[in-house]
Chain A
Amino acid sequence: MMRRMRDLNGSHLLFAIPVLVVLAGGYFLLSDPEPQRKKGGEKSFWASVAEVFWDPGAQEKKNRVKYRADSSEQTGSDTALLEGSGEKRAISGLNEDGNRSPAAWSGENATSGGKARTICSSVELPGDGPSEAIADKDWEKAEQEFAEAKKGLQAWLDKNRIAFSIEAYTAMQKRLEGVKLQKASAENEPDLTWRGIATYGTAGDGTSYVRAGSGFLKLFSSQPSRAKFELARVVAQSWAPCELAKGAGNPWQPWLTCLNVKEGNACETGSYSEAGWAVSTALAAQVAPPGCTIPAFRAAEQAQCVEKMPTLWKEASL
């Protein structure tokens, strides 16, 4: 044997290479620290080798999956703690009962049914003026949708009741019940009869109304989803911060802070409110999704604010 070894030269070493490869492969196969998951079949040895040599990001992907699993476990433990303390919390009202998931809000690559979502823009159809009466069937349709919008907002309020104080909840419920639907006419706001918008307002006697003209009602025929969203948004303006400030304080502040909506002279005499649009838009999009992405919620950061909407008050109060 010693003689044979003495006779060995470099070319004989070429035969050693495949032997070494087999030995190395056997080592990896037998000593894999992470057992392969059997979801959809166990990954083969050769697939693992291919992964290492041809897909360097594979390990990173595995690490990300592991992180998400850990996060869900953490969420589960938070829920357990809350349940133990007698409280129940909607972690994310958006993900229950088929409501819009956060993925549908954010990013240009967000998909819904396999198609890229468009970004919402302004939409308005001209009206017919004060001399043209609104058809009965069109108005009946508007009243039905108005009732549905109120029902949807009430359901949202009930589901997220824990996020509001009793005073705020009661005030919001009362304001929602008190909103009435009116036709725009020559007697109230003649220009609305030519416009394609619905507006929220408060009459001199303190009653709240949503006023719409023929242009707005046309939207129910041409873009039903968008029309429902716009109507829900106008109704939700009864919960705008400056409306609620008249009796129940401003429960939206933590969320507005998250969304970075700042109003220096909020609700002072002579002030204008963007926060009212922020709140009503987010609420309406949860109750009656418009079928497109609202520009304000396009960025992932703002989309997260919408997802966490009901929970932000709880966090602020802790």
Chain B
Amino acid sequence: MKRILGLVILSAVFGVSGCMSMQNQGAISALEDLAGGRPYVEAYVEYRAPSEHWAAASALMVHVVAKDEALAEVTFTPDWFTPMVAPAEFSNRSPASAGSKLSSEVARDGLIRLAAAMQEDDASFKGCLYPVRARLIRDDGAILEKNGCRSDHGWTKTASALVSDWVQTKR
């Protein structure tokens, strides 16, 4: 009786854990299906600036490359860690073009989520003052590109969160 009870409990444990992993695998598989089963390995996210006539904030471009290497390459243009006004405050920080602590696998997962958000989001905008553009490149060369307007919802928010994570990995 005790053996039967033990077997039942053991089976239940294995069954639940298997079910959980299947669910996660299902979510990732769904995202990969959206990507045609292939990973996105490179991305550009650009926060465009208005004309320089208005002396507004400069444009910011983030470039991520997450191919076969263990660590992804993250580049900010302009150099995010170079202050524009007070260089003395940040003299001990590493330049933004140096290596990051972002693994390629984590970067690719983020790009898949961004791709899904871009494809699902059909929100419109009019007279946008803060344009955002994202371009994702799959490992087979296919390109997914979208223009949008900065906001706290939709794909631009997903992009904002990713950019914030990428900045964090450089510090």
In this complex, the interface size class of chain B, counting residues with CB under 8 Å from chain A, is 35 or more
* A182: nearest chain-B partner, CB-CB: B152
Q: Does A200 contact B (CB under 8 A)?
A: yes
| Cβ distance A155 to chain B, nearest Cβ, rounded Å | 23
A123 touches B84 (CB 8 A): yes
Known contacts A122-B57, A189-B150, A190-B160, A277 near B50 by CB under 8 Å: yes
Known contacts A125-B86, A191-B160, A270 near B54 by CB under 8 Å: no
Contact with B along A170-212 (1 / 0, CB 8 A): 0000000000000000101111111111011101100000010
A192 touches B160 (CB 8 A): yes
B60-119 CB contacts (< 8 Å) to partner A: 60, 80-81, 83-86, 90
Q: Does A120 contact B (CB under 8 A)?
A: yes
B129-163 CB contacts (< 8 Å) to partner A: 129-131, 147, 149-153, 157, 159-161, 163
Q: Does B34 contact A (CB under 8 A)?
A: no
In angstroms, Cα B128 to Cα A125, docked, is 24
B151 touches A242 (CB 8 A): no
- Chain B residues lying within 8 Å of A270, measured Cβ to Cβ, are 124-126, 147
A242 touches B126 (CB 8 A): yes
A125 touches B84 (CB 8 A): yes
Q: Does B53 contact A (CB under 8 A)?
A: yes
- Chain B residues lying within 8 Å of A130, measured Cβ to Cβ, are 164
B163 touches A267 (CB 8 A): no
* B170: nearest chain-A partner, CB-CB: A194
B129 touches A237 (CB 8 A): yes
Q: Does B58 contact A (CB under 8 A)?
A: yes
Q: Does B168 contact A (CB under 8 A)?
A: yes
Contact with B along A241-274 (1 / 0, CB 8 A): 1110100000000000000000000111111111
Show the binding face of A for B, using Cβ within 8 Å: 119-126, 129-130, 186, 188-197, 199-201, 203-204, 211, 222-223, 233, 237, 240-243, 245, 266-278, 281, 290, 292, 294-296
Additional pairs, 11, CB under 8 Å, beyond known A122-B84, A266-B127? A191-B167, A194-B163, A196-B84, A203-B152, A269-B124, A270-B125, A272-B127, A276-B127, A277-B51, A281-B56, A295-B55
